[in-house]
Amino acid sequence: MNEEQKLDPIEVFAGNSWDTGMVKSLLADNEIEAYLIGENLASVIPWISTPAGVESISVVVAAEDYDKALPIVEAFKKTQE
């Protein structure tokens, strides 16, 4: 993987604003930088950005952090079951 590919964004989680905020915080606690995609659109026009059954906000990390982020996200998902 070259330097540019290491920074490619990869989605690790999608959900509502509460859950995505929690996941982003958990990743930050583990020194993994994450970004939320779709957060502003969901707050402005939620009926357009969140059709039935579709989660509108994504948490993305750099490709180089994906392997570190995945176990944290999986642990969060287990707490939600």
Give the mean pLDDT of 5-20.
90
pLDDT at 9 over 60: yes
Q: How many C-beta atoms lie closer than 10 Å to residue 70's C-beta?
A: 14
Kindly list the structural domains of the chain, giving each domain's residue range(s) and its CATH number in brackets, ordered by start.
Answer: 8-80 (3.30.70.1530)
Phi, psi (rounded to 5 degrees) for 58: -115, 145
pLDDT at 15 over 70: yes
At 26-76, the pLDDT tens digits run 999 999 999 999 876 545 555 554 455 555 789 999 999 999 999 999 999
Q: How far apart are CA 18 and CA 2, in angstroms?
A: 34
Q: Give the pTM.
A: 0.79
